[in-house]
Amino acid sequence: MWNLKKVVPVSYTHLRAHETVLEYMITKIIHEEKIQKAKKYVEKGESFVIVTHVTPDGDAIGSALGLYHFLTAYGKDNVTVVVPNDFPQFYKWMPGHKEIVIHEKYPDFAEQLIRDADVLFCLDFNEPKRIEKLAPAVVAAEGRRVMIDHHLNPADFCRVTMSYPEMSSTSEMVFRFICRMGMFDLINKDCAACIYTGMMTDTGSFTYNSNKPEIYTIISELIKKGIDKDLIYRKVNQVYSESRLRMMGYVLYEKMKVYPEQHAALITLSLEEMNRFHYVTGDTEGFVNLPLSIENVAFSVFIREDKDYVKISLRSVGDFPCNQFASRYFNGGGHKNASGGEFYGSLADAVAVFEKGLEEFNPNKTEDLDKHD
């Protein structure tokens, strides 16, 4: 058995044993003044709305529901998660998912909730345009806004901005936020399951942006809360439809182009092609990662047609910064190995922009993009 007095600094001896070890093992990344300010909002607020980005992914839903369960456990009765549009079916097992309000389906109700909120948590997005039609209501809201995010260059629209790009996920940020407020004990099994799901999905099941030991310290604590991480993996990754699997086969055989000299690959899909395979939200999630299993491919891009624009997903391995590529050519951004962007034009034009960019900047030619300006 450990002797806590020997392994923990004297300054921590006033804390309970478990919290002592946890605090000691996890670096205090978030600035203390931000923690204290947001904590006051949590303590004094009566109505809370948690908002996340358009086309919510696992980290968006996981962090939002994780915070939702924490606030409910804290005793807050008026807490709602609002998302701009629907989210994939394979996240609709998560505790609390049925309580999420979808703005696209119930715009008036969602906007009224935002207007009435004392506190608005903005999770997993760094600027209002990422919530699209929800943005005017959020920006105009009189409630106190708190951003918890891990993307570069956060916009200045919140009273408290906790944005740390070095973090694996916003879900990890939510865990750290709760712990730093001294409320680790309020993380119940439902909260832990949501946080873990967000961390898992935003790191490709811990295959990128996940090489820091503290991530696994956090996972250990979540498992102690009673979650089954193996079951969570199956619920997210092994519940696809036959149509989705056939579309994947079509993509790999017909729609993938490899650029050997540039160590890159491209996948494209049009709306017509997706409709042919009875596309539903989430069916193409993970497609962008597929070419990275090819030897010597270090950069993969997935370009797919949407209703109003062309969506760009970018992934890389190693040192190639796909977020720089996204920023220069597709008005996007994100993380070094996982980023996204948008293109307003045709699918063919988007491909042309990608191929032009690839000539200038690729894993075989890694000069700083600024040199091309």
User: In the chain, where does the domain assigned CATH 3.90.1640.10 lie?
Assistant: 4-236
Per-residue model confidence as pLDDT tens digits over 37-57: 999 999 999 999 999 999 999
**CATH class of segment(s) 4-236:** alpha beta
For residues 197-203, give the mean pLDDT. 96
- Give the rounded percent of residues in the chain with a pLDDT score beyond 90: 84
Confidence (pLDDT) at 44:
97
Task: Say if residue 2 is exposed, middle or buried (CB neighbours under 10 Å; 0-12, 13-18, 19+).
Answer: exposed
Inform me whether the pLDDT recorded for 197 exceeds 90. yes
Instruction: Name the token pair of 13.
Output: 């001896």
CATH of range 242-372; options 3.10.310.30, 3.30.70.260, 3.40.50.1360, 3.40.50.300: 3.10.310.30
- For the chain, the average pLDDT equals 91
Residue-level pLDDT at 19 = 53
The residues of the chain that CATH labels 3.10.310.30 are: 242-372
**Contact predicate 285/57, CB 8 Å:** yes
Alpha carbon distance 9, 4 (integer Å): 9
pLDDT > 70: what percent of the chain?
91
pLDDT level of residue 369 (50, 70, 90 thresholds): very low
User: Are the C-beta atoms of residues 72 and 79 closer than 8 Å to each other?
Assistant: yes
Q: pLDDT band for position 202 (50/70/90)?
A: very high
Is the pLDDT score of 13 beyond 50? no
Tell me the mean pLDDT in the region 223-235.
98
Contact at 8 Å (CB) between 177 and 30? Answer: yes
Q: Please report the pLDDT score of residue 8 as a whole number.
A: 40
pLDDT bin (cut points 50, 70, 90) of residue 367 is low
Q: pLDDT tens across 143-162, in order?
A: 999 999 999 889 999 999 99
Is the predicted pLDDT of residue 191 greater than 60, yes or no?
yes
Cα separation, 68 vs 83, whole angstroms:
13
Res. 170: pLDDT tops 70: yes
- pLDDT top residue among 9 and 196: 196
**What confidence tens digit (pLDDT) does each residue in 82-141 have?**
999 999 999 999 999 999 999 999 999 999 999 999 999 999 999 999 999 999 999 999
For tokens 């001896």, name the residue.
Answer: 13
Q: Would you say the pTM of this structure is higher than 0.95?
A: no
